[in-house]
């Protein structure tokens, strides 16, 4: 009985220890806040939201901004507009990291660096439109700064710099964070741009730069096996030569200028190239038949010549 009681007591102590382990508070950066940043810049005005101070040659304390900034416009006399930016930035010691994701009806929000009253900052540039956001910028998240934090500063009005005595050296910041989605499948129902912000609704995917893949499958119809049909009219080599002389490229194949301006459809181009290969194959078969017939005739003439000589 005493042994059973000791076992039960040890089990209770173990449970209490697990409970305390799960209930402990983990220390870390403070600074969670919900903040009204004030009404956004007026009409025809560009601004920056100073996020936090960043390293500028002197070792720096802890700075960060991790959270969401919203911006809205709209009422009975103002057109509706909505922007949401998710900010992830930090700077401490001698390093700077940052990235931003934005949902916008205009241009994307961008990270910038600037100098404000002698200190260097990481800042966020809201999406611009001539008509300003008439509802306050709102921030919710963690923000810590050894300088200004979440301060909105106007720097341009109607294309002309303003507040140059306060803010200067505005430059793009190249995002240097890696975002990973570890999921079974990711679905994107709209278009996707990689390396470009140019929108072209004719394409679901646009890539500015090189693409490397282990395998690409292009589905296409009207594969040119019809070239081998008995009723197919094979263009003569003379017709092809005339077209090349006049146009400078093969019949049915886009010119260099067309490719430069419009690119090529891989599936369509492969079909066109195959068609040319098949036509060339038929010409080679005909040429081979002619050569064989000529060789047969030559052989016959040789035999006849030998017989005549004898």
Instruction: Say how many domains are in the chain.
Output: 2
Same domain, 73 and 133: yes
Picking from 88-92, 108-112, 147-151, 200-204, which range would have the lowest pLDDT averaged per residue? 200-204
Distance (Å, whole) CA 17 – CA 42: 57
| Same domain, yes or no: 66 and 153 | yes
191 falls within a domain: no
Examine residue 177 and state whether it is found in any structural domain, yes or no.
no
What is the share, in percent, of the chain residues with pLDDT greater than 90?
Answer: 71
Instruction: Provide the whole-model pTM.
Output: 0.74
pLDDT in tens, 276-294: 999 999 999 999 999 999 9
In a domain, 74, yes or no: yes
Give the three-state DSSP class for 133: coil
| Of 223, 62, 267, nearest in space to 144 by CA | 62
36 and 132 inside one domain:
yes
In the structure encoding, which two tokens stand for residue 257, read together?
A: 């200028």
> What is the span of the domain harbouring residue 48?
32-172
Tell me whether residue 148 is in a domain: yes
User: 161 with 229, same domain?
Assistant: no
> Rounded to the nearest 5 degrees, what angle is found at the Cα of 262, between the Cα atoms of 245 and 189?
150
Same domain, 55 and 127: yes
Report the distance separating Cα 218 and Cα 289, nearest Å: 36
Say how many C-beta atoms besides its own lie within 10 A of residue 168's C-beta: 14
Q: Do 149 and 37 lie in a common domain?
A: yes
Closest listed residue to residue 65, CA positions, set 83, 78, 53: 53
Q: How many whole angstroms from its chain centre is CA 3?
A: 67
**Segment 152-174 mean pLDDT:** 96
| 131 and 250 together in one domain | no
Label residue 3 by pLDDT band (50, 70, 90). Answer: low
Report strand pairing: 78-93 vs 95-104. antiparallel
Give the end of a domain, one of 172, 191, 212: 172
On whether residue 183 sits in a domain, the answer given is no
- Summarised one tens digit per residue, pLDDT across range 55-64 is 999 999 999 9
Q: How far is CA 19 from the centre of its chain?
A: 46
- Tell me if 201 is assigned to some domain: no
Q: Which of 145, 172, 199 is the last residue of a domain?
A: 172
Instruction: Check whether residue 149 and residue 255 sit in a common domain.
Output: no
Residue 241 · residue 234 · CB < 8 Å: no
Pick from 172, 205, 239: which residue ends a domain?
172
- In the chain, the N- to C-terminal Cα span, in Å, equals 130
What's the pLDDT band for 39 if we cut at 50, 70, 90?
low
- Quick check: is 12 in a domain? no
Is 309 domain-assigned? no
């Amino acid at each position: 009985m005493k042994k059973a009681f000791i076992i039960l007591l040890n089990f209770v102590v173990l449970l209490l220890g697990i409970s305390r382990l799960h209930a402990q508070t983990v220390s870390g950066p403070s600074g969670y806040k919900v903040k009204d940043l004030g009404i956004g810049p007026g009409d025809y005005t560009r601004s920056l939201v100073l996020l936090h101070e960043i390293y500028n040659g002197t070792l720096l304390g802890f700075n960060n901004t991790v959270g969401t900034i919203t911006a809205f416009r709209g009422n009975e006399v103002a057109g509706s507009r909505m922007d949401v930016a998710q900010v992830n930035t930090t700077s401490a010691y001698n390093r700077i990291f940052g990235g931003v994701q934005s949902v916008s009806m205009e241009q994307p929000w961008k990270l910038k660096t600037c100098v404000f009253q002698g200190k260097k900052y990481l800042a966020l540039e809201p999406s611009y439109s001539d008509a300003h956001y008439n509802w306050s910028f709102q921030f919710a998240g963690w923000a810590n700064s050894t300088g200004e934090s979440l301060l909105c500063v106007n720097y341009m009005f109607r294309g002309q710099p303003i507040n140059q005595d306060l803010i200067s050296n505005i430059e793009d910041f190249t995002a240097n964070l890696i975002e990973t989605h570890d999921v079974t499948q990711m679905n994107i129902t709209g278009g996707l741009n990689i390396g470009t912000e140019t929108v072209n609704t004719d394409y679901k995917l646009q890539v500015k730069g090189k693409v490397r893949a282990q395998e690409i499958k292009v589905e296409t119809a009207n594969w040119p096996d019809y070239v081998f049909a008995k009723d197919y009219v094979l263009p003569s080599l003379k017709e092809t030569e005339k077209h090349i002389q006049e146009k400078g490229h093969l019949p049915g194949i886009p010119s260099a200028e067309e490719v430069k301006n419009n690119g090529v459809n891989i599936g369509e181009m492969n079909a066109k190239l195959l068609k040319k290969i098949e036509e060339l194959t038929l010409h080679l078969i005909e040429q081979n038949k002619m050569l064989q017939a000529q060789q047969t005739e030559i052989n016959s003439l040789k035999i006849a010549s030998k017989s005549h000589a004898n």
